[in-house]
């Protein structure tokens, strides 16, 4: 009797979750539909932007990265900067000292992580990514961060991050994909240099990038590094040359931009 | 026989007429084409912004719509993106989809396709004749109204206001005045002020290239601020990378959803088609009268229709002839379509060269261009003569008012109706010149005598049935049977009362 009751409950719970899953069509299902309304078409557009930023939002991109390079698997990977974060915005951030709406948060990633041009709040690209984030956040609790939000915070290891040791780790574990010079290969995006995120990006923070690397890199054998190795290689990435922080208000930025424009004109491709 | 002749005539309009090749003055055409390309780039970006589509689309429009209209047409008219058409496109699609979203772009494509189809239908029905009834006063009214619209839509961009959901510029002013410290962006104001100031100062001296110079000045100013104070402080919005594809060919998607959309915007489709043609034909008519007598207006309608119908296939939106760019081209010596063809290719080249620089073009400078183009459309030289006649002044004022305060498509309707009404009123104006020779009264009639205009004459003749009157109808081009029957009735009345009425037909 009780067993039957539990079975029924489990069945009900299962069918409920199936229903909930059915309520949210996958991107593939959406793409296969002949007719999309404005919201759905924006979800698909937002998904395309996150997966192939270079192709779908070229207007505001200045690096060779796509959103999904950091927001892994299109923002669906827990502890890989997942994007199901609608519930935690708007929130105050120390970075710019104001309360950030989701729109501003997205625009910030264009400016810093993609070293590009900050799109206006009402630009179709931002609206589309916001719709996609909204879609990903279905089922999350408003006001509470999603499960395994951001990246894990590594515990104290008792030893400072050391870039010299990091460089060894990089050569052994990372260079195969990201290139010995960090400029990326066909298999992986650049991790420093003109095609990578700039010095103002959230990624350019040793603790955070260490958490990212520990939880997600080397791709395919995640969590194989020790915490110390992850911190070391993060410190190594941190000291590399990358585009200026756009908040630094010096003329160098202008010179750099002009150099970029000139080199892209002479066929060097987008820096 | 007549049918075959008509069909042959239409065939002649369909086939590109390349006879102009023989009379072409290559150097002048090429120079004016290059100048046109330089001129169109800031405008194309601005008008794409007006239409709510990415800036690339504006450039594609300048290239492909311009090229097709020039190749198929037979005039030095410069086609491409157009303010009024862009405004109407945005106003039509906006209620159905968010500005610039994928669905929005699809709707813009099918809308442009439909506009082209309607224009071709107008060509088949020989619609070019109809546009003769658009009076110059109405055209000037539409231009002035659009100028006001442009200036008001530039306000957001120039002040850097946070996006407002209001169309009314006095409301925008109100926001800007009462809450200036939180809404107005001083960096944007400086940038656009430099753009507009430069434009106004240079307009007299360099009437051809002042917009280009103004954009340059505003761009340098804005970039200086952007890099000196940083994007976070200035919050200046930049244009971003303009990525032109070499071959932007695509097939627009038409699904039941798109049909549903088209069905709901039928009035707008017609408004866009008519407005686009009206502008092209006004330009063509003017060119025909002044410099290129063998322009065939029907051929221009056909060219415009095909160009717009093809526009979605080249990832762009509908356009029309451009007043200001044609004026510059003609001034620089363009007499044949060659200059338009050169301009199309030069745009590709220039956009490719300027591309990396355009990335950092601040949007307030673009808004400044919008304001400058708007100011250029309000021409005191065109408006003042209209106020010499009551009819023209009325048509002009009504049209301007409804374009600026109601909306553009209503304004066009009002313009047509007002033109026709005042045409009728003017046509029914009959002047009577009365001279008395002894007992006999001579009445010289000037004007058309028909059902709407005969009243005045009848009233005069009926005042005294015993008179002896002679009508001189030699200056009556047209007299309809109704008017004749009225006069016959009066003659009968007079004969009964002892008077007399005679007339000598002209």
**Interface contacts A/B by beta carbons within 8 Å:** 100
Calculate the dihedral angle through the C-alpha atoms of B250, B254, B255, B261, rounding to the nearest 10 degrees. 130
- Among A59, A270, A237, A240, smallest CA distance to B56 is for A59
Q: Quick check: B343 and B39 in contact, CB under 8 A?
A: no
Regarding whether B131 and B98 lie in a shared domain, the answer is: yes
- A261 touching B, CB under 8 A? yes
- Among A207, A217, A214, A209, smallest CA distance to A229 is for A214
Q: B425 in a domain, yes or no?
A: no
- A95 touching B, CB under 8 A? no
User: Which of B393, B420, B447 is where one domain is finished?
Assistant: B420
- List chain B residues with CB under 8 Å of A260: 356
The values of phi and psi at residue A99, to 5°, are -75, 125
**Secondary structure of B333-362 in HEC code, one letter for each residue:** CCCCCHHHHHHHHHHHHHHHHHHHHHCCCE
Angle, in degrees to the nearest 10, between helices B256-264 and B266-290: 70
Q: Is residue A12 over pLDDT 80?
A: no
More confident residue, B133 or A146: A146
Q: Is residue B160 over pLDDT 80?
A: no
Alpha-carbon distance of B229 to B324, in angstroms, equals 37
The values of phi and psi at residue B298, to 5°, are -60, -40
N- to C-terminal Cα separation, chain A:
69
Chain A residue closest in CA terms to B229: A249
Q: Which two tokens stand for residue A58?
A: 């070229």
Q: Does the ipTM surpass 0.95?
A: no
- A175 touching B, CB under 8 A? no
What is the nearest CA distance from B171 to chain A, expressed in angstroms?
Answer: 20
Judge: A247–B232 Cβ closer than 8 Å, yes or no: yes
> How high is the pLDDT of residue A252?
65
Section B67-75 average pLDDT? 87
Could you give the 3-state DSSP secondary structure of residue B185? coil
- A56 touching B, CB under 8 A? no
Q: Quick check: B62 and B81 in contact, CB under 8 A?
A: yes
Judge: A127–B243 Cβ closer than 8 Å, yes or no: no
Alpha-carbon distance of B112 to B115, in angstroms, equals 5
More confident residue, A219 or A16: A219
Token pair 């959309």 is found at B261
Regarding whether A44 and A145 lie in a shared domain, the answer is: yes
What is the nearest CA distance from B347 to chain A, expressed in angstroms?
Answer: 17
Q: Quick check: B272 and B311 in contact, CB under 8 A?
A: no
Could you give the 3-state DSSP secondary structure of residue B397? helix
* Count of domains for chain B: 2
Nearest-by-Cβ selection for A247 from B96, B102, B230: B230
Beta strands in B169-260 (DSSP E): none
Q: B46 in a domain, yes or no?
A: yes
Judge: A124–B240 Cβ closer than 8 Å, yes or no: no
Beta strands in B357-458 (DSSP E): 431-437, 440-446
Contacts of A32 (CB under 8 A, 6+ apart): none
Q: A3 in a domain, yes or no?
A: no
Lowest mean per-residue pLDDT among A60-69, A255-264, B5-14, B273-282: A255-264
Q: Residue A264's pLDDT band (boundaries 50, 70, 90)?
A: low
- Among B102, B48, B204, smallest CA distance to A48 is for B102
User: Which of B363, B391, B420 is where one domain is finished?
Assistant: B420
Q: How far are the Cα atoms of A184, B162, B424, B462 from residue B448, in angstroms, in the given order?
A: 83, 58, 11, 20
User: How does pLDDT run across B183-231, given as a tens digit for each residue?
Assistant: 778 888 899 999 999 999 988 887 777 888 888 899 999 988 888 887 7
What is the nearest CA distance from A255 to chain B, expressed in angstroms?
Answer: 10
User: Which of A133, A150, A167 is where one domain is finished?
Assistant: A150
Q: Is residue B432 over pLDDT 50?
A: yes
Regarding whether B496 and B414 lie in a shared domain, the answer is: no
Judge: A96–B227 Cβ closer than 8 Å, yes or no: no
Nearest-by-Cβ selection for A127 from B101, B239, B242: B101
Q: Is residue A265 over pLDDT 70?
A: no
Give me the domain span that covers residue A230. 151-256
Q: How far are the Cα atoms of B46, B70, B195, B212 from residue B217, in angstroms, in the given order?
A: 16, 32, 6, 9
Give me the domain span that covers residue B478. 431-504
Q: A12 in a domain, yes or no?
A: no
Alpha-carbon distance of B454 to B480, in angstroms, equals 10
The values of phi and psi at residue B51, to 5°, are -80, -10
> How high is the pLDDT of residue A249?
61
More confident residue, A175 or B354: A175
Alpha-carbon distance of B241 to B329, in angstroms, equals 29
Q: Quick check: A89 and A36 in contact, CB under 8 A?
A: no
**pLDDT above 90 as % of chain A:** 36
**Opening angle at CA B406, ends B403 and B409, nearest 5:** 60
Q: Residue B30's pLDDT band (boundaries 50, 70, 90)?
A: confident
CATH number of the domain at B449, please: 3.30.750.24
Instruction: Please report which helix (H) or strand (E) contains residue B473, including its range.
Output: strand B468-475
- A101 touching B, CB under 8 A? no
Regarding whether B437 and B414 lie in a shared domain, the answer is: no
> How high is the pLDDT of residue B1?
64
């Amino acid at each position: 009797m009780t067993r039957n009751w539990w079975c029924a409950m489990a069945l009900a719970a299962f069918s409920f979750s199936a229903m909930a899953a059915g309520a949210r069509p996958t991107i593939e299902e959406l793409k296969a539909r002949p007719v999309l309304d404005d919201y759905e078409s924006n979800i698909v557009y937002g998904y395309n932007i996150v997966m192939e930023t270079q192709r779908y939002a070229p207007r505001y991109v200045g690096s060779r990265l796509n959103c999904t390079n950091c927001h892994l698997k299109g923002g669906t990977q827990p502890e890989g900067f997942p994007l199901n974060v609608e519930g935690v915005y708007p929130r105050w951030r120390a970075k710019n000292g104001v309360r950030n709406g989701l729109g501003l948060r997205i625009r910030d990633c264009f400016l810093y992580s993609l070293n590009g041009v900050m799109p206006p709040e009402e630009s179709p690209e931002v609206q589309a990514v916001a719709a996609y984030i909204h879609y990903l956040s279905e089922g999350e609790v408003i006001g509470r961060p999603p499960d395994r939000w951001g990246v894990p915070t590594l515990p104290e290891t008792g030893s400072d991050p050391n870039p010299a040791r990091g460089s060894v780790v990089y050569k052994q574990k990372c260079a195969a994909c990201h290139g010995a010079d960090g400029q990326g290969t066909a298999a992986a995006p650049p991790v420093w240099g003109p095609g990578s995120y700039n010095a103002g990006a959230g990624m350019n923070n040793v603790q955070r990038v260490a958490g990212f690397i520990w939880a997600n890199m080397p791709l395919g054998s995640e969590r194989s590094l020790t915490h110390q190795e992850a911190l070391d290689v993060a410190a190594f990435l941190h000291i590399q040359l990358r585009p200026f922080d756009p908040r630094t208000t010096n003329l160098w930025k202008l010179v750099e931009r002009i150099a970029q424009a000139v080199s892209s004109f002479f066929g060097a491709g987008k820096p | 026989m007549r049918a075959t002749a008509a069909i042959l005539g239409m065939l002649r309009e369909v086939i590109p007429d390349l006879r102009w090749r023989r009379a072409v003055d290559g150097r002048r055409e090429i120079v004016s084409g290059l100048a046109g390309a330089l001129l169109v780039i800031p405008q194309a970006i601005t008008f794409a912004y007006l239409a709510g589509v990415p800036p690339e689309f504006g450039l594609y429009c300048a290239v492909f719509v311009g090229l097709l209209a020039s190749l198929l047409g037979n005039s030095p008219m410069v086609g491409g993106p157009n303010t009024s058409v862009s405004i109407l496109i945005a106003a039509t699609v906006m209620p159905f989809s968010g500005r610039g979203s994928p669905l929005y772009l699809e709707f813009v494509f099918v809308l442009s396709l439909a506009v082209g189809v309607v224009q071709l239908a107008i060509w088949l029905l020989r619609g070019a004749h109809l546009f003769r009834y658009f009076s110059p006063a109405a055209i000037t009214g539409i231009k002035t109204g659009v100028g006001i619209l442009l200036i008001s839509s530039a306000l957001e961009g120039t002040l850097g206001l946070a996006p407002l959901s209001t169309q009314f510029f006095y409301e925008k002013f109100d926001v800007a005045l009462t809450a200036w410290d939180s809404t107005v962006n001083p960096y944007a104001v400086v940038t656009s002020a430099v753009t507009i100031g430069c434009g106004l100062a240079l307009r007299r001296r360099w009437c051809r290239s002042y917009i280009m110079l103004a954009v340059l000045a505003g761009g340098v100013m804005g970039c200086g601020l952007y890099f000196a104070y940083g994007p976070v402080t200035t919050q200046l919005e930049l244009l971003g990378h303009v990525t032109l594809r070499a071959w932007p060919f695509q097939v627009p998607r038409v699904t039941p959803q798109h049909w549903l959309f088209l069905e709901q915007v039928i009035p707008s489709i017609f408004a866009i088609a008519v407005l686009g043609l009206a502008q092209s034909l006004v330009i063509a008519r003017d060119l025909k009268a002044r410099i290129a007598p063998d322009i065939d207006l029907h051929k221009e309608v056909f060219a415009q229709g095909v160009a717009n119908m093809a526009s979605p296939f080249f990832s762009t939106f509908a356009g029309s002839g451009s007043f200001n760019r044609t004026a510059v081209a003609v001034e620089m010596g363009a007499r044949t379509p060659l200059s338009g063809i050169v301009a199309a290719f030069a745009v590709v080249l220039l956009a490719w060269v300027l591309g990396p620089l355009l990335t950092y073009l601040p949007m307030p400078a673009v808004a400044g261009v919008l304001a400058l183009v708007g100011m250029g459309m309000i021409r005191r030289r065109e408006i003042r003569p209209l106020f010499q006649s009551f009819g023209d002044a009325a048509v002009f004022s009504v049209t301007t008012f409804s374009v600026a305060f109601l909306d553009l498509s209503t304004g066009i309707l009002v313009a047509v109706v007002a033109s026709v009404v005042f045409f009728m009123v003017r046509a029914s104006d009959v002047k009577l010149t009365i001279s008395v020779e002894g007992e006999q009264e001579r009445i010289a009639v000037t004007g058309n005598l028909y059902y709407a205009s005969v009243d005045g004459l009848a009233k005069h003749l009926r005042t005294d049935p015993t008179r002896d009157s002679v009508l001189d109808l030699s200056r009556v081009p047209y007299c309809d049977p109704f008017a004749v029957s009225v006069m016959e009735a009066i003659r009968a009345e007079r004969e009964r009362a002892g008077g007399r009425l005679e007339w000598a037909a002209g």
